[in-house]
Structure 1
Amino acid sequence: MTGTEIRSALALALVVGLRMFGLFLVLPVLALDLQRMPGVTPWLIGVALGIYGVGHLLLQIPLGLLSDRIGRKPVITFGLLLFAVGSLVAALAHGVDGIILGRALQGTGAVTGASQALAADLSSEHSRNAVMGILGSMIGLAFLLAMLLGSTLAAHLGGLQGLFGLTFVLVLVAIVALWLLVPLAPPPRAHGSEGPAAIMRTLRDARLLTLDVSAFVLHGLLTLFFVVMPLQLAHGLHLAVGEQWRIYVPALLAAGLVMGGALPRLRGLDASVRVTQASALLLGLGLLALAFARGSLALGLLGAILFFVAFSLLEASMPGLVSRMAQPARRGAALGAYSAAQFFGVIIGGAVGGVLLGAIGVRGVFIVGAVVALSWLLLLLASGARLRQSAPAAESGMG
């Protein structure tokens, strides 16, 4: 990587990290805080967690396409402003309905795909995996810090609404950083010949579809995890909110160490595909361990470590695969579709998690999650040869 690429990647990682830190910050306390509000049901908890994904599902591809046409920075700024408005609405809410509305508005700031496309635009083909790794590492760090600090900050900022207020401020800082620190990218290469037929060919690419399905499953399981994990920690492992760091800190530190060691080695398709497959297995085993962790701190810690290691590796590596497989002129569309699949998973994971929680309890939800993860592993194993194939048409012209 050149010095310019490193500086560009770090600056964009800061913007993405601030946004994702605000998004993740509420996860450790959302289910528990909502549970104390009048009229809240398991279904509403699931909706509050998953509704964020609706806007992302609907707007990731349109905003990704728009970023291919008019540039990445204006689209990212627009999305960050929408995210800030949603954060402010949730911060001022007095009940679960207002929080759900705020989360829904946050979701309309659907610029994950445009941000990843900007990272690809600012890097050469040789450096792209490393740049995506820096972005993924920052997302992992944001996740780590949010899990570590969420409960403590909530206690000092007046609860859930205080966290949403902090998120509002962080997103405004991210907008300033985007324009002051992130360099201008080369103009997007989309042009008049990039019509609907060309875009549809990209979206129907079998390898990209496999990664889209993987994004859907991964984020569905993440949301399902956070429907029940706070309850397992509080009631199954008898850890008060202020003690839950005993699970989150070692699990997330382990995830950071593994991710930091693994990402520099993910330079080829074969290595990236193998890590994806192994991570799906770890995800399933982690959920299975958590299903039977009631009363066992050691088993709960093991399950959390496996889950967070797997999630961090997948979250950091899969966008790089998508960016390598998509043509530069349609990279925003491809990464928009990938991000839409992520947040479709958020919607389904939240809704299904809430329903299952009411029907089969915490252990049942974890078992269902493990079955889904292991079924996804079978899909990845069956698709391994196709994912490893080079795609000259997709990679030509990348720069």
Structure 2
Amino acid sequence: MSRVPLTYRRLFRREVLDICSLIFIADIVTGVPTPVFPLYATGLGASLGLLGVITAMLGLGRLISALPVGILSDRLGRKSVLVGGMVMFAVSFVAYAMAPNAEWLFLPRLLQAVAMVATFPLGVAYIGDVVEPRDRGAAIGIYTAAMGSGFAVGPLIGSWVAANAGYPEAYLVGAAFALAGAVFGAVRLVRMKPGRGGPSIGSALVDLGALRTLIREPVMLMACIANIAMTLSMTGAIFTYFPIYARAVGISTVTIGSLFAWRSIASASGRIPMGPLSTRLPARWTLVGVLLAEAAIDVAIAHTTSALALTGLLILEGVGFGIFLVSGQSAVAAASGPHNRGAAVGMFWMAGSVGELFGPIVLGL
């Protein structure tokens, strides 16, 4: 029997399946407003410039909160922060639904940022805590595939509810999913004691020496720089302005949601096989290759108005992002230990938040 099937047999257990189920729900929640938010904001009176600034608040919130939330999970345990993140999703989505004008959207955008850093990167830390190093790449592949699958469902739900009931109602549906995820996490996730065996960043509130040691790891530094570049493109060009561009060339809201769903399905399909490969392929070449492909796709999207061509390009972009996500997060998990893995994934997400902060603003000017 080959090593790969044996690996997946070892991973077919409660700890792995439950965190993948939680993150599937979390990405449904995140996906619900993806085709809706730019249209909702402009409908409330936001100009393209203001839309870029509001969108960038997600990056600012993640930039500010990613490392503290990761450190908090090193102290309190992953479960508490993961469940709290799902509750924060629900609170932020209710705030979105109550928005009387575009300016109101700044607050829920920041709350959503905290919810995101309290769920997605900490799920990787949870995986790193419960899975042996030899199986970690495969486990992260399954985990990120669950993320992508949820994000395939979310835009379909959000666009359908928005088209039939309205934009605020789409956010309320997302809030309901978030609360269901919080209950699931509280019941099913395993509470683990903080890791031992090294200098804990979380044992002091912020150990600057331990942080400097972590960022000096070549793999950590490379992954963080690559994440800045990827989120600069993805958040700016794909998530913020693609829905508006697609709407301008005559594509309906429901169809835009379908395009994002196809992107997520394609992205998720490549993540499981990429998991074992991520431990064999040099991360630096994988990440550079994906970034070059991302740049080419952005240019191609700007030069086509065909719904079929846009679907194909968005699918290719999704596949590339899936490869990037598995390789980058596997590298981060391998570069850290149980005592500082929450801080490591927080640092990785904080780096991505730099691109997420400036991408929408620069492209909106």
TM range, smaller chain: 0.7 to 0.9
Deviation at 1:283, TM superposition (A): 1.3
- Check conservation: 2:44, 2:100, Cα contact below 8 A: no
Deviation at 1:80, TM superposition (A): 3.0
Does 1:345 find its partner at 2:355? yes
Structure 1: distance between partners of 2:339 and 2:97: 39
- The equivalent residue for 2:4 is none
- The equivalent residue for 2:277 is 265
- The equivalent residue for 1:149 is 157
Structure 1: distance between partners of 2:73 and 2:257: 40
- The equivalent residue for 1:23 is 30
Higher-RCO chain (CA-CA 8 Å, sequence separation at least 6)? 2
- Check conservation: 1:113, 1:335, Cα contact below 8 A: yes
- The equivalent residue for 2:176 is 169
Residues 36/165 of structure 1: CA separation in 2 closer, same or farther (3 Å cut): same
* 1:111-122 equivalences in 2 (<5 Å): 111=118, 112-122=120-130
* 1:346-385 equivalences in 2 (<5 Å): 346-355=356-365
Residues 301/85 of structure 1: CA separation in 2 closer, same or farther (3 Å cut): closer
Match of 2:210 among 177, 198, 201: 198
Q: Return 188-197 or 278-287, whichever deviates more.
A: 188-197
Residues 213/33 of structure 1: CA separation in 2 closer, same or farther (3 Å cut): same
Classify the secondary structure of the residue corresponding to 1:108.
Answer: helix
Residues 228/192 of structure 1: CA separation in 2 closer, same or farther (3 Å cut): closer
Count of aligned pairs between the two proteins? 350
Match of 1:101 among 107, 118, 121: 107
Task: Give % identity.
Answer: 23
Structure 2: distance between partners of 1:245 and 1:114: 27
Structure 2: distance between partners of 1:54 and 1:138: 26
The normalised TM-score by structure 1 is 0.80
Match of 2:246 among 217, 233, 253: 233
Please give the per-residue CA displacement for 1:332-369, whole angstroms capped at 9, x wherever unaligned.
111110011222322212222222xxxxxxxxxxxxxx
Residues 67/279 of structure 1: CA separation in 2 closer, same or farther (3 Å cut): same
Match of 1:243 among 235, 238, 255: 255
Deviation at 1:275, TM superposition (A): 3.3
* 1:177-188 equivalences in 2 (<5 Å): 177-188=184-195
* Structure 1, gaps ≥5 residues long: 356-399
Classify the secondary structure of the residue corresponding to 2:196.
Answer: coil
Please give the per-residue CA displacement for 1:254-304, whole angstroms capped at 9, x wherever unaligned.
33333344334333242x44433332232122112101103x344323322
Structure 1: distance between partners of 2:21 and 2:145: 11
Structure 1: distance between partners of 2:122 and 2:261: 31
Classify the secondary structure of the residue corresponding to 2:132.
Answer: coil
- The equivalent residue for 2:3 is none
The normalised TM-score by structure 2 is 0.87
* Structure 2, gaps ≥5 residues long: 1-6, 202-206
Does 1:48 find its partner at 2:54? yes
Structure 1: distance between partners of 2:179 and 2:266: 31
Structure 1: distance between partners of 2:82 and 2:269: 30
Displacement over 6 Å in runs of 4+? 190-193
- Check conservation: 1:83, 1:105, Cα contact below 8 A: yes
Structure 2: distance between partners of 1:130 and 1:124: 10
Structure 2: distance between partners of 1:217 and 1:139: 21
